[in-house]
Amino acid sequence: MTSRSKFIAKNITFGYISNIVALILNFVSRTVFIYTLGDSYLGISGLFGNVLGILSFAELGIGTAMNYELYKPVANHDIEKIKSLMNFYKIAYRVIATVVAIVGLAICPFLKYIIHDSNGVLRGNEIYVYYLIYLFNTVISYFVTYKFSLVNAEQKSYIFTIINSITNFLTVTFQIVVLLLFKNFLVYLLTASIIGVLQKIGISLYLRKLYPYLLEKPVQKLRKEELSPIKKNVKALIIHKIGEISVYQTDNIIISMFEGIKTVGLVSNYTLLISSVKGFVDIIFNSAIPSFGNLMANSDDERKYELFRCYKFLGFWVYGFCSIAFAILASPFITLWVGESRTISYGTVLLLIADFYLVGQRICMNNVKVAGGVFWQDRYVAFLQAIVNVVISIVMIKKIGLPGVYVGTIVQGLISTIIKPIIVYRDLFKVKPSLYFRQGLGNLLVTILAGAITYIISNTWLAESTILNFMIRMIVVIVIPNLTFMLVYSRTKEFAYLKGTITRVIKRKV
- Residue 1 has a pLDDT of 46
- Stretch 2-6: mean pLDDT: 54
CA atoms in the 13 A half-sphere facing the CB of 474: 9
pLDDT bracket for residue 14 (50, 70, 90): low
- Closest residue by Cα to residue 281 from 330, 315, 249, 329: 315
Q: How many CB atoms lie within 10 A of CB 475?
A: 9
Which sign does the torsion angle of CA 432, 433, 437, 440 carry? Answer: positive
Q: Exposed/middle/buried for 99, CB within 10 Å: 0-12, 13-18, 19+?
A: middle
Which sign does the torsion angle of CA 139, 142, 144, 145 carry? Answer: positive
Answer whether the bond into residue 433 is a cis peptide, omega within 30°: no
Does the structure show a pLDDT above 80 at 226?
no
Q: What's the pTM value of the predicted model, to 2 decimals?
A: 0.74
Report for 29-38, 149-158, 328-337, 413-422: range of highest mean pLDDT: 328-337
Residues belonging to the chain:
510
> In the chain, count of helices (H) and strands (E)?
20, 0
- Residue 123 has a pLDDT of 63
Q: Mention every residue, 6+ apart, whose C-beta is less than 8 A from residue 48.
A: 130, 131, 134
pLDDT in tens, 93-140: 888 888 888 888 998 888 877 776 555 566 667 888 888 998 898 888
Three-state DSSP class for 123? coil
pLDDT in tens, 352-396: 999 999 988 888 787 777 666 666 666 677 778 888 888 999 999
In whole numbers, what is the pLDDT of the chain averaged over residues?
A: 81
- Stretch 206-219: mean pLDDT: 83
- Residue 311 has a pLDDT of 81
User: How far is the C-alpha of 450 from the C-alpha of 444, rounded, in Å?
Assistant: 10
CB 374 within 8 A of CB 428: yes
pLDDT in tens, 259-279: 887 888 888 889 888 888 887
- Closest residue by Cα to residue 410 from 498, 342, 350, 327: 350
